[in-house]
Amino acid sequence: MLISVSSSHLVCFNNFPSKIRNKTKKERNLRLQHIPQKFVMTTSTQAYGEPWYWDNRYTNEPGPFDWYQKYLTLAPIITLYVPPHHPILVVGSGNSAFSEGMVVDGGYTDVVNIDISSVVIEAMKTKYRDCPQLKYLTMDVRDMSDFQSDSFGAVIDKGTLDSILCGSNSKQNATKMLEEIWRVLKDKGVYVLVTYGAPPYRLRLLRDSCSWTIKLHVIEKLASEEKSDHPVWELTKPVPLNNDGSSVEEALGRNPDVHYIYICTKEISANSNVTA
């Protein structure tokens, strides 16, 4: 069973210890705020990777809804890394208003959105029928053969790799997804991965899939556009990232209450690399 604990958490219930599984939903939600990362990461037979789950969900909850963060909170990072003059691909776009923010507030002019759920894609096509900068296509991120290689300047993923990692055959599916993202990116294009997954749970997967050059940023898990006066780390400053990710704990402390933003650059000539 999978649950989204709150508007900004995507977690796999089966991985929780039994003392949490046996609690009522309310008690669980309180306890989950303190749950160790290792229980929030992977599981084997979950539905978040399945179209029927998302079709049901979008039929019952038409939204709009943004997982983790909204466009305005991430805008400084998007502006920093996402080139304005190339087509941008948003994978697993759902019914989020993020892409609308990219067009209306960020001035991006060609934002292609894909999702495995035809329900949400049809709804978004209707919603944005008068916005030529936004395109919506039903497509599986693991097979984007309708797109030519080297097509996009950036690929943005907010919560989609996380969903796939909750599904069955998670490692295989995640690898297919990452290889497809690499293929459709132009050389020097960036894959912006917004996730709850800390480096010990994401770095190896990213490195094993393709030869990304990886930078890391973090943003606090705050509701809507709220801003903390004392953020744990400045958003636009990369967090020092060594090979095993231990430098991140040194910089931020243990279990910081943040979302991680991996900036993975496709550099055809480079070997898998991390930079601070």
Interface with ligand SAM by CB under 6 A: which residues? 10, 49, 54, 66-67, 92-94, 96, 98, 114-117, 140-142, 158-160, 163-164
Considering beta carbons, is residue 205 or 251 the nearer one to ligand SAM? 205
Q: Which two tokens stand for residue 169?
A: 């055959």
Considering beta carbons, is residue 100 or 115 the nearer one to ligand SAM? 115
Rounded CA Rg of the chain: 18
Q: How many CB atoms lie within 10 A of CB 161?
A: 27
Considering beta carbons, is residue 104 or 251 the nearer one to ligand SAM? 104
Nearest approach, Cβ of residue 92 and ligand SAM (Å): 3
Nearest approach, Cβ of residue 222 and ligand SAM (Å): 15
Nearest approach, Cβ of residue 69 and ligand SAM (Å): 8
Nearest approach, Cβ of residue 91 and ligand SAM (Å): 6
The residue among 118, 81, 129 whose CA lies nearest residue 102 is 81
Nearest approach, Cβ of residue 17 and ligand SAM (Å): 24
Nearest approach, Cβ of residue 268 and ligand SAM (Å): 25
Rounded CA gap, 268 and 261, in Å?
22
Nearest approach, Cβ of residue 239 and ligand SAM (Å): 22
Minimal CB distance to ligand SAM: which residue? Answer: 92
Considering beta carbons, is residue 100 or 140 the nearer one to ligand SAM? 140
What 3 state SS string does the chain have? CEECCCCCCCEEHHHCCHHHHCCCHHHHHHHHCCCCHHHHCCCCCECCCCHHHHHHHHHHCCCCCCCCCCHHHHHHHHHHHCCCCCCEEEECCCCCCHHHHHHHCCCCCCEEEEECCHHHHHHHHHHCCCCCCEEEEECCCCCCCCCCCCCEEEEEEECHHHHHHHECCHHHHHHHHHHHHHHHEEEEEEEEEEECCCHHHHHHHHHHHCCEEEEEEEEECCCCCCCCCCCCCCCCCCCCCCCCCHHHHHHHCCCCCEEEEEEEEECCCCCCEECC
